[in-house]
Amino acid sequence: MSANPHFGLTGLATMGANLARNVAHHDIPVAVHNRTTARMERFIDEHGSEGPLSGYATTEEWVRAVERPRVLMSMVQAGAATDAVIEEILPHLDRGDILIDGGNANFRDTQRRHATAAEQGIHFLGVGVSGGEEGALEGPSIMPGGDREPYDQSVRPIFETIAAQVDGTPCCTYVGPDGAGHYVKMVHNGIEYADMQLIAESYDLLRHGAGLEIPEIAARFEAWNSSELESFLIEISARVLSKTDASTGQPLVDVILDAAEQKGTGRWTAANALELGVPLTGITEAVFARMLSARKAEREHAAGVLVGPPPAAGPDAELADDLEQALYASKIVAYAQGFAQMAAAAEAEDWRIDLGAMATIWRGGCIIRARFLDRIREAYAQEPGLLNLMLADFFAQALRDAQEPWRRVVARASELGIPAPAFSSSLAYYDGYRRARGPASLIQGLRDLFGAHTYKRVDRPGTYHVMWGEDGREVEV
* Alpha-carbon gap, residue 236 to 233, rounded angstroms: 5
Torsion of CA 391, 395, 400, 402, to 10 degrees: -140
User: Is 61 one of the annotated active-site residues of the chain?
Assistant: no
Local structure of 462: helix, strand or coil: coil
**Using an 8 Å Cβ cutoff, are 422 and 197 in contact?**
yes
> CB neighbours (10 Å) of residue 313?
7
Helical packing angle, 281-293 and 421-433, nearest 10°: 160
Sort strands 98-101 and 123-130 into parallel, antiparallel or unpaired.
parallel
Among 101, 20, 131, smallest CA distance to 363 is for: 131
Catalytic residue, chosen from 67, 185, 235, 474, is: 185
The separation between CA 24 and the C-alpha centre of its own chain, rounded to angstroms, equals 28
User: Is 192 one of the annotated active-site residues of the chain?
Assistant: yes
**Using an 8 Å Cβ cutoff, are 129 and 185 in contact?**
yes
Long-range contacts of 375-378 (CB under 8 A, 24+ apart): 376/335, 376/339
* Alpha-carbon gap, residue 400 to 387, rounded angstroms: 18
Cis geometry, peptide bond prior to residue 69 (ω within 30 degrees of 0):
yes
* Alpha-carbon gap, residue 77 to 73, rounded angstroms: 13
Among 32, 81, 82, smallest CA distance to 57 is for: 32
**Using an 8 Å Cβ cutoff, are 296 and 257 in contact?**
yes
Catalytic residue, chosen from 50, 60, 61, 192, is: 192
* Alpha-carbon gap, residue 366 to 376, rounded angstroms: 16
Decide: residue 77, CB within 10 A, 0-12 exposed, 13-18 middle, 19+ buried.
middle
Cβ-proximal residues to 219 (8 Å cutoff; 6+ apart), any chain: 238
Q: Which residues are catalytic?
A: 185, 192
